[in-house]
Structure 1
Amino acid sequence: MGKRGLRRLPVTALVSVCAVLIGVAVSGGASPLPGLELSQAGHWIASPALNLVLFVNGSAKSVDAQVPVAGLEPGSQVVQGPTSGYVIGKSAIVEFGKSNLSVDRTLPSPSGERPALVEASGGPYLVYREAGRVVRLGSGFTTLPAGGPLGTPVATADGTLWLNRTDSGALCRLAKDADTVTCRDNLGAGHTGGLSIAGDRAVFVDTTTDTIREVSGDRPGEPVAIEKDLSPAAQIAPADADGRIAVLEPERRQLHLLDAGGFAAGRAPARPIEVDLPDGVYSNPTASASSVVLLDLTRHKVLTYGPDGNPRQTTAIPPESGTPQLVRGDDKRVYVDGGEGKHVLVVDPDGKVAQVPVTPGKAPAPATSPQQPPPATQPPAQQPPKVRPDVRADGPKQPPPVRRTEPPVTQQQKPIPPSPPGIPGRLTARLQGSDARITWDAAAGNRAAVTAYHVTWKPSSGAGAGASELAGTARSTVIAGLRAGITYTVTVVAENSAGRGTPATTRVTGPAVPKPTITVTRGKTGTYEPDPAECSAPDCAKMHVVVRGFAPNTEYHFTPHCGCTYSNEGRSFTTDANGAVTFEAFDFGAVGKQAWVTADNGVSSPRYTWPPG
């Protein structure tokens, strides 16, 4: 119940409303409750097998409401606003009322891409990361361009949606009632990392510079070193757990817990806590109020850790749940959704895990009519003696007539035709050098043999998409030549004689991009021709500049500096396809003085003491 709802309803009325709601949900009725804003607490899931959308009460660990939605698409997600819920499928968006528990309207999906869902004041929002678009649901249906591919979004309590551009390094925001995505801060192209929420402030963890900075104030905060060397493939949890932000290093099998509490309090942060993980493949981390939650996709388990790094609970995921995903609810619980909508695991704020079977509600037994009082007693009427049918007055007993019964006629059962296969199980993608090894378990054939598996992969930006068709007996393949630092979405779908089934999806990030570096040494000796008096051989020479790990095919401006009297406006150079460039420029001859070069993305070379010629 939203705060406004609590102010409008007294406690007794509130209890009555809850009772009515539960009755409506269980009986399948849809009596509207005008003006009622239902609570955001809890989580809605889609169950295509049941053609139902169900509300999971995280506190009670129960399914408390259901909405029939015909033709639910496999892989559908559900996001909720104050009064409506939205089923997000590949081809359509279905809006349903949370008070009348019925479908209100169906809209075409703006993209076949699976969006990130954000429940926030002013929303909810769909963020199509690869397309670089934000869709605001609610009374309207507004699509807002962000200008380029996006990282994982987060939202603060005031309803502001925070985004980061993965191509340019821009930090962007969409205010609660704004109609434009505004990008005001630029980290520079090539910077990797992700957004998170520390307390109620948006922060950016920069894995290129190994810093954290606040982005939600009037002006961006200064970067603060986190004393940990993070790789570009590091995955950032979208919120803190008791002041610690979880960072997963998937290739190193490590979990780092950054001291966001100290950062938010304006003091020097404590050193990160490091947790070594068992060998395996893990999903992006998330957090409940005071625990970190991971999915171990290799062993199909949920792992929870305290903010001190100590393990709290390991729980097996039901095998029929399909490919699971983690969803952080508005109640600061984490919900582990099964890919097929058959089970939900609820992770409480303290890290304890409970299973909630997804079952439709049962209609209550019909009410019985009150018993009528018995009529006044009357003396029994005299009945004539019954004549037994098997006794004749003038002879012995006769057997009763034989009644011939025919065997029941049964309708011949028609064989159930095959249907498309189930979802491939336990899909994993593991980086091996610059290649990715993709493995999966067999998909259910559904009364027909699986004849093929179709594997597709698509990078988050640029070229490199591909596809392959494998035999029905295949359980693995290799995708060769992943681009450094680029995340690929990998999809595997099974096919049989009835068609293609539900796809399984995972992600894998290419090899780590080297940190951007600039080095300066003495280059070719010469004389500064415009004014030999300023710089002449043999002490005068060009600076030899080597640039590595920058964004590929991008122009940067480089400026030389000196710990002395020196002025040079610098020059621009463009990196190659590997993000590197080497050049000689900037005449310099101050022997014994320190020289260095900076780029316009903030990267600076070490200081180099100029030698004599």
Structure 2
Amino acid sequence: MVVACVAAVVAAVTGAANPVSAVQFLMPGHWVYNSALASVFHVDGSTGNVDARAGVPGSPGNQVFQGETSGYVVGSDRITEFGKSSLDVKGSSTPASEETAYGVETAGGPYLVYREAGKVVRMGDPSVLMELDGPVGTPVATRDGTLWLPRTEAGRLCQVRKDARAPACQVPLPRGHNGALTVVGDEVMFVDTTDDTLHTVERDGLGEGRDLGLDASDDAVLADTDVAGRIAIMDANRIHLVDTESGRAPIEVDLPDGDYAGPVSTGEVVAVVDRGTDTLLTYDSAGELKDRKQLPAEKGDPRITRGEDDRIYVDGDEGEHVVVVDQDGGLTEVPIESGGDNDAAPPRGGGDPDGPPVAAPKPDRPNLPQPPRTEQPPRTEQPPRSDPPDTRRQQQTPPRVPPTQPGAPAGVSATPGDATATVSWGPAPDNRSPLTGYRVSWAGGSRTTGPGAGSVTIPGLVNGTRYVFTVAAVNGVGVGPGSSSNPVTPAAPFLAASAPRNLAATTDFDNDTVTVNWAAPADMGTGVFAHYAVNVGGVQATATGLSATVTVGVDTELTVTVTAVTTNPAGAQVVGAPATTRTEGRPPASDPTVVLSQGAPTDEYCGGQEGCSWMHVEASNFPPNTMIRFEAHSTQEDYTNAHSTPTDENGFADIDRFAYAGVGYRVWVTVTTPDGAEYVSNTITWGAG
């Protein structure tokens, strides 16, 4: 009890007494949505405790993804944002697609990737929608916040850098090959499941392929991070652990028959979930089974994800349980019942936090048979006893902790603007004296805000000058310790380039190419020109001049987009406004036709007979430079005649053949190609000439 009281006093004095402070919400962990309670719960992966709860509207099966300051409850028809420190609902929006989003929690994110629709949304204020011209594979992210998206159908690998507003798809992938991405250390690798090779992703393409040592199917699934340097590839009911350095044969792990989700890696162990039996299995990098756990039963399929804290979280679909897989493979089951509240939790058993401790109710005892009572002899009357004063209440009531200066604000951050900066922070513990305000200070000035403020914009700063802001809380006792922001440098707004002008596209149907021409933008913005990004039907190209020729399938109409890319003062590339046009698809081929007419009179064969003339025949749209056979027919009994001649390079041939004098008879011609196809001309009645 003495140790507990001392700890409580120390916690109160240092500002750590609030068990649900904003600091907790900014630390790594995992959020889960409980549909029955219509609430999100925060699970601290390091302790296995539920330490926060917020009421947020949603539906069964909704996912929760977190960014630096906000969390997002994501469903097929609504995305609801809530503050991680305030635990208040901040607004809702409509998803970019009705399909289930694949979420990636990383620096600058989170990102929602709609793989079939080819759409990427970076959640934030404001959110940014990025559209790719076709579906994408499963993304991965590196520690610097770069999102990598494979587009194997288009033969391109795209990346979205932190704070970029559009993907850059400049790394080519083998066209027609299937594969997936993973991250080893902080190096992105592409596993080509068509030719079973492993490639390091380099700046201008893929590195030299290394043999995987296995025959992977196109349905193989990769863990997005390595397992102690090995790549985990799940193919059917088997996990292959591929060594990326030594070239040794992969370690094979045979799984029990089942329907598996995963694999997901902590960096030391890999985990999979059998959705048919709700069983969690974990293995180390040597392929040895670390643990096996039966998950609590819930409706729907459990979800297995990896958090930014390198732990694995397995959620029930209804949000009633979470199983945490620690980095070393240890398992912790966390039931989601009432969870944390917005306010500090009361002492165990209820009561006033500043009042005397109240004992927790004891569990009901079963009605066990009692031993027979033994009759006691009558008690002898004792003389009255003078008892000491009842000090039990005094012993139970610890002295009240006096108010002190407030604790430090949580999560102080700054965002630069044009000669301004916006400083944001989470609430500070008041340490038993109501807050009267927050003091924001920097080199050259300070400003005091009200007690409810969580952000302030500082004007009058000097562009190009580096600033660090310190925020301290103030209460009736004094000013508390300050927390400093990240350094920021205000700057004039950066302007991207305007759209290129006079965009035109010409299709070469014989060579399957599209040549794109354009004029420079009227305004190149405030950046340094880097190149033009050209997109023809999803195939990316770059150019420093004003034209580009792209090889692409030209059978259908294609969208052509050209943007000017410039470099901002921070060295990041910025995509300008797009210019867009469309190409014409390949025109449909015309059907072969045969046209017969009565030609010039002749003295050959039927000379001297009335109506003796040649048959004039024209054949169009036949295969070029091909020998075709003409055969004449008539209603005159036993008449037939034939001749063969080649078509020209355009598939055309005409003849004046078959001298004929059958006045009044009906005449027609058939043309036969080498493959046996037969085409019939029109029918005419032969005249007298």
Q: Which residue of 1 aligns with 2:240?
A: 256
Please state if 1:73 is matched with 2:59.
yes
For this pair of structures, how many residues does the alignment match? 344
Deviations 1:460-514 (A, max 9, x none): xxxxxxxxxxxxxxxxxxxxxxxxxxxxxxxxxxxxxxxxxxxxxxxxxxxxxxx
Q: State the distance in 2 between where 1:203 and 1:369 align.
A: 57
Given the alignment, which residue of 367, 380, 396 partners 2:352? 367
Given the alignment, which residue of 109, 123, 145 partners 2:95? 109
Given the alignment, which residue of 24, 35, 43 partners 1:48? 35
Q: Which residue of 1 aligns with 2:265?
A: 287
User: RMSD in angstroms over aligned alpha carbons?
Assistant: 2.5
SS of 1:73 mapped into structure 2: coil
Matches of residues 146-161 of structure 1 in structure 2 within 5 Å? 146-161=132-147
Deviations 1:393-430 (A, max 9, x none): xxxxxxxxxxxxxxxxxxxxxxxxxxxxxxxxxxxxxx
Q: State the distance in 1 between where 2:319 and 2:76 align.
A: 16
Query: Partner letter of residue 333 of structure 2?
Result: Q
Query: Partner letter of residue 325 of structure 1?
Result: R
Q: Which residue of 2 aligns with 1:278?
A: 256
Q: Which residue of 2 aligns with 1:63?
A: 50
In the TM superposition, residue 18 of structure 1 has moved relative to its aligned partner by: 5.4
Indicate conservation of the 8 Å contact 2:138/2:149, yes or no. Answer: yes
1:350–1:137 distance in 2 versus 1, CA, 3 Å: same
Indicate conservation of the 8 Å contact 1:193/1:235, yes or no. Answer: no
Deviating more after overlay: 178-187 vs 232-241: 178-187
Q: State the distance in 2 between where 1:17 and 1:244 align.
A: 44
Deviations 1:2-52 (A, max 9, x none): xxxxxxxxxx899956542x346xxxxxxxx6xx69435110011111111
Q: State the distance in 1 between where 2:355 and 2:24 align.
A: 37
Q: Which residue of 2 aligns with 1:190?
A: 176
Please state if 1:100 is matched with 2:86.
yes
Q: Which residue of 1 aligns with 2:578?
A: none
1:356–1:167 distance in 2 versus 1, CA, 3 Å: same
Given the alignment, which residue of 166, 186, 192 partners 1:200? 186
Q: Which residue of 1 aligns with 2:460?
A: none
Matches of residues 227-376 of structure 1 in structure 2 within 5 Å? 227-250=213-236, 253-260=237-244, 262=245, 268-320=246-298, 322-360=300-338, 361=340, 363-364=345-346, 365-367=350-352
1:193–1:126 distance in 2 versus 1, CA, 3 Å: same
Given the alignment, which residue of 152, 160, 165 partners 1:174? 160
Q: State the distance in 2 between where 1:348 and 1:15 align.
A: 33
Indicate conservation of the 8 Å contact 1:321/1:343, yes or no. Answer: no
Q: State the distance in 2 between where 1:68 and 1:173 align.
A: 35
SS of 2:293 mapped into structure 1: strand
Q: State the distance in 2 between where 1:304 and 1:130 align.
A: 30
SS of 1:131 mapped into structure 2: coil
Query: Partner letter of residue 54 of structure 2?
Result: V
Percent identity over the alignment?
Answer: 44
Indicate conservation of the 8 Å contact 2:197/2:209, yes or no. Answer: yes
Q: State the distance in 2 between where 1:114 and 1:330 align.
A: 21
Q: State the distance in 1 between where 2:55 and 2:194 align.
A: 48
In the TM superposition, residue 220 of structure 1 has moved relative to its aligned partner by: 3.2
Query: Which structure has the larger Rg?
Result: 2
In the TM superposition, residue 219 of structure 1 has moved relative to its aligned partner by: 4.7
Query: Partner letter of residue 156 of structure 2?
Result: A
SS of 1:285 mapped into structure 2: strand
User: TM (normalized to structure 2)?
Assistant: 0.47
Indicate conservation of the 8 Å contact 2:43/2:51, yes or no. Answer: yes
Indicate conservation of the 8 Å contact 2:30/2:307, yes or no. Answer: yes
SS of 2:198 mapped into structure 1: strand
1:206–1:368 distance in 2 versus 1, CA, 3 Å: closer
Indicate conservation of the 8 Å contact 1:193/1:236, yes or no. Answer: no
SS of 2:240 mapped into structure 1: strand
Q: State the distance in 1 between where 2:270 and 2:253 align.
A: 11
Indicate conservation of the 8 Å contact 2:281/2:293, yes or no. Answer: yes
1:23–1:256 distance in 2 versus 1, CA, 3 Å: closer
Indicate conservation of the 8 Å contact 1:132/1:145, yes or no. Answer: yes
Q: State the distance in 1 between where 2:50 and 2:179 align.
A: 37
Indicate conservation of the 8 Å contact 1:211/1:223, yes or no. Answer: yes
Q: State the distance in 2 between where 1:13 and 1:366 align.
A: 20
In the TM superposition, residue 210 of structure 1 has moved relative to its aligned partner by: 0.7
Indicate conservation of the 8 Å contact 1:37/1:82, yes or no. Answer: no
Q: Which residue of 2 aligns with 1:597?
A: none
1:55–1:369 distance in 2 versus 1, CA, 3 Å: closer
In the TM superposition, residue 284 of structure 1 has moved relative to its aligned partner by: 2.8
Q: Which residue of 2 aligns with 1:214?
A: 200
Matches of residues 370-409 of structure 1 in structure 2 within 5 Å? none
1:18–1:38 distance in 2 versus 1, CA, 3 Å: farther
Query: Partner letter of residue 76 of structure 1?
Result: N
SS of 2:206 mapped into structure 1: coil
In the TM superposition, residue 343 of structure 1 has moved relative to its aligned partner by: 0.4
SS of 2:298 mapped into structure 1: helix
Query: Partner letter of residue 278 of structure 2?
Result: H
Indicate conservation of the 8 Å contact 2:238/2:255, yes or no. Answer: yes
In the TM superposition, residue 217 of structure 1 has moved relative to its aligned partner by: 4.2
In the TM superposition, residue 321 of structure 1 has moved relative to its aligned partner by: 5.5
Q: State the distance in 1 between where 2:310 and 2:264 align.
A: 11
1:15–1:67 distance in 2 versus 1, CA, 3 Å: farther
Q: State the distance in 2 between where 1:168 and 1:14 align.
A: 59
Indicate conservation of the 8 Å contact 2:36/2:318, yes or no. Answer: yes
Deviations 1:423-450 (A, max 9, x none): xxxxxxxxxxxxxxxxxxxxxxxxxxxx
SS of 1:196 mapped into structure 2: strand
User: TM (normalized to structure 1)?
Assistant: 0.53
Indicate conservation of the 8 Å contact 1:321/1:341, yes or no. Answer: no
SS of 1:258 mapped into structure 2: strand
Q: State the distance in 2 between where 1:245 and 1:88 align.
A: 30
In the TM superposition, residue 67 of structure 1 has moved relative to its aligned partner by: 0.8
Indicate conservation of the 8 Å contact 1:195/1:202, yes or no. Answer: yes
Query: Partner letter of residue 48 of structure 1?
Result: S
SS of 2:41 mapped into structure 1: strand
In the TM superposition, residue 228 of structure 1 has moved relative to its aligned partner by: 1.2
Deviations 1:118-170 (A, max 9, x none): 11111111101011011011221110012211111110011110000142231
Indicate conservation of the 8 Å contact 1:198/1:245, yes or no. Answer: yes
1:88–1:198 distance in 2 versus 1, CA, 3 Å: same
Query: Partner letter of residue 298 of structure 1?
Result: G
Indicate conservation of the 8 Å contact 1:129/1:151, yes or no. Answer: yes
In the TM superposition, residue 298 of structure 1 has moved relative to its aligned partner by: 2.7
SS of 2:273 mapped into structure 1: strand
In the TM superposition, residue 269 of structure 1 has moved relative to its aligned partner by: 2.8
In the TM superposition, residue 213 of structure 1 has moved relative to its aligned partner by: 1.1
Indicate conservation of the 8 Å contact 1:61/1:346, yes or no. Answer: yes
Query: Partner letter of residue 254 of structure 1?
Result: R
Q: State the distance in 2 between where 1:248 and 1:13 align.
A: 48
